[in-house]
Structure formats: C-alpha cells, structure tokens
C-alpha cells in the first residue's frame, strides 16, 4: 500500500472524522449530553484526569483543548474553575456538535476549526493550560512536529496535560482469537488504515474517507515533547482502560498491562 504524505493523511483524517460525526449523534448518549450540559457544574472528566488537572491548577486559568471533538470535555473544564476555554478541532462536523452543546450551556467556550499543525497566530502563547485527551496523539503522523505546534499555544510556564491510551495496547488485537497474542510491533512505523466511519463502539459497515492511526512509542512521545521545549513534571501509568469498550477486557488481570497514562509538560 502506498503511504500518503503527512499532509494528505491529516486531510484524510479530517474527512474521516467529518464522515463519522453523524453516527456519534445516533448514539443514546447524545440526547443525555444535551440535557446534562445545561447544568453549570456539568463535568464528564473522570477522576484520574480531574486529579491531574486539579494538581496543575485550572481554576482561574485560560485553557485550550486540542482535538476537542464534540466539546464535552472542553465544557467540563468550567466545572474545574477555568476562566476561559477554547476547543480546537479540524472536524467542522464535530465542532457543529460542540457549538450545539455550548448553546445549551451557561458557559461560553470558543470553538475554533483548525488543523493543530496550522494553528492561527491568535492562539500562540495565549494559554496557561493545554489539554489533550484520549485518542488524539495517534492521528498525528509526526509526533515531534505535533508537539512543536502544541507548545506554541502555551505562555512560558504554562502546562500541557495529556491523558492518553497506552502505546503498549497497539501491540494487541482485542478481537483476535487470542487477544493477548502479540499482533503488531511496538515499533510499527506504518499506520493502521481504516475505510469505515470512526465510532467508539462496534463497526459501521459504510464507506468513509480513509483514516490513518499512527503508533508512537513512549520514547518518541517524550523525545518529541522535550524537543518542543516541554519539561516533563509528571508521568503516571494506570491499569484501567480509557478507550473503546473492547479494551476493557485487558483490565483486572493478574499480569496487568499499563492501559493508559497521564503526563504533564511545562513550557520553559
């Protein structure tokens, strides 16, 4: 298979997320979300991430979420005391959902459509805290390049908080006959390729733009962050899963894999 350029992969990922957005609205979670966000203290951030955000300090701060999807986590940052919140995503269709949620909310986040590799200048050096959560890093073909753009959003001394799925999981296929068999190299360089809509549960048998999921080792992630001028001040791995339900099977094992992690990088 011929690999697309990084730019083409990013553009195709944007089209794939746009193609997928309507399927996320078909989910029974959507109407519940529309009601839940009317409460000023709405918060869908789990205890793990909440603890890290409280440690870093979001209260009274200007916060940006990069890869904000439908904005539910961006809206939740107000419950932790954020002074202002900006959500950035390159999917117009998901930002439509984010804006729909925001109109129901008593808070006023700003949602900006942009590829993180081409952020508008007005976002440079503007934030005390930048947030990246579950399922963002792997859409990026060049993780070092990605962190250079992420770091630009922070004021000096500002903190990037990351809560992501663990790259060890990329070695396993939860749907294989032996889900613990080693299915793919930790050092895999070619992306996983999908031509169906991106949904969190099950599969939708319909064509969609091709999406490219890139594997990054922990070493590549930290090297990229350090080279972007971020000093790692916290890193913790956890035995719980924060990704699709399929991966819950890897929890509560005697020989436990790390399933997700949090880390914080402070801009020098």
Cα radius of gyration rounded to whole Å, the chain: 18
90 scored as a contact of ligand SAM (CB under 6 A)? yes
143/191 Cα distance (integer angstroms): 13
- What is the x/- site pattern for ligand SAM, positions 70-89, by CB under 6 A? x-xx---------------x
**Distant-in-sequence, close-in-space partners of 182: CB < 8 Å, separation ≥ 6:** 171, 172
Shortest Å distance, C-beta 133 to ligand SAM: 4
Among 80, 85, 136, 208, binds ligand SAM (CB under 6 A): 136
Beta strands, E only, the chain: 62-66, 84-89, 110-113, 127-133, 154-165, 192-194, 211-213, 230-238, 260-267
Does 37 contact ligand SAM by CB under 6 A?
no
Burial class (CB within 10 angstroms; exposed 0-12, middle 13-18, buried 19+) of 142? middle
Least gap, CB of 178 to ligand SAM (angstroms): 27
**Are the C-beta atoms of residues 111 and 98 closer than 8 Å to each other?**
yes
109: nearest Cα among 153, 77, 69: 77
Residue window 188-217: x/- pattern of binding to ligand SAM, with contact defined by CB under 6 A: ------------------------------
Kindly state the helix (H) or strand (E) to which residue 254 belongs, with its residue range: none
Does 91 bind ligand SAM (CB under 6 A)? Our answer is yes
Pick 42 or 94: Cβ nearer ligand SAM: 94
Residue nearest to ligand SAM (CB): 135
Nearest CA among 132, 90, 85, 127 for reference residue 106: 85
In whole angstroms, the minimum distance from the beta carbon of 223 to ligand SAM comes to: 20
Nearest CB to ligand SAM, comparing residues 13 and 84: 13
Query: Is there binding between residue 94 and ligand SAM (CB under 6 A)?
Result: yes
> What is the binding site for ligand SAM (CB under 6 A)?
10, 13, 17, 67, 69-70, 72-73, 89-91, 94, 115-117, 133-136, 139
């Amino acid at each position: 298979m011929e690999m697309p350029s990084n730019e083409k992969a990013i553009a195709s990922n944007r089209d794939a997320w746009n193609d997928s957005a309507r399927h996320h609205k078909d989910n029974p979670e959507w109407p519940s979300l529309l009601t839940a966000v009317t409460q000023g203290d709405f918060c869908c951030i789990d205890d793990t991430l909440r603890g890290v955000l409280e440690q870093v300090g979001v209260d009274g701060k200007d916060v940006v979420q990069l890869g904000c999807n439908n904005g539910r986590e961006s809206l939740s940052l107000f419950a932790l005391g954020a002074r202002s919140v900006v959500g950035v995503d390159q999917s117009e269709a998901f930002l439509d959902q984010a804006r729909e949620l925001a109109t129901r909310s008593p808070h006023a986040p700003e949602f900006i459509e942009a590829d993180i590799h081409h952020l508008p200048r007005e976002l440079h050096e503007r934030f005390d805290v930048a947030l990246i959560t579950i399922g963002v890093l792997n859409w990026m073909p060049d993780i070092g390049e990605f962190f250079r753009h992420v770091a630009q959003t922070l004021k000096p001394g500002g903190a990037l908080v990351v809560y992501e799925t663990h790259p060890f999981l990329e070695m396993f296929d939860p749907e294989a006959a032996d889900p613990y068999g080693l299915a793919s190299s930790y050092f895999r360089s070619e992306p996983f390729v999908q031509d169906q809509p991106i949904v969190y549960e099950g599969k939708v048998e319909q064509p969609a733009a091709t999406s490219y999921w890139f594997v990054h080792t922990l070493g590549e992630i930290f090297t990229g962050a350090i080279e972007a001028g971020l000093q790692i001040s916290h890193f913790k791995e956890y035995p719980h899963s924060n990704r699709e339900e399929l991966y819950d099977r890897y929890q509560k094992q005697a020989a436990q894999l790390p399933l997700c992690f949090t880390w914080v990088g402070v801009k020098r």
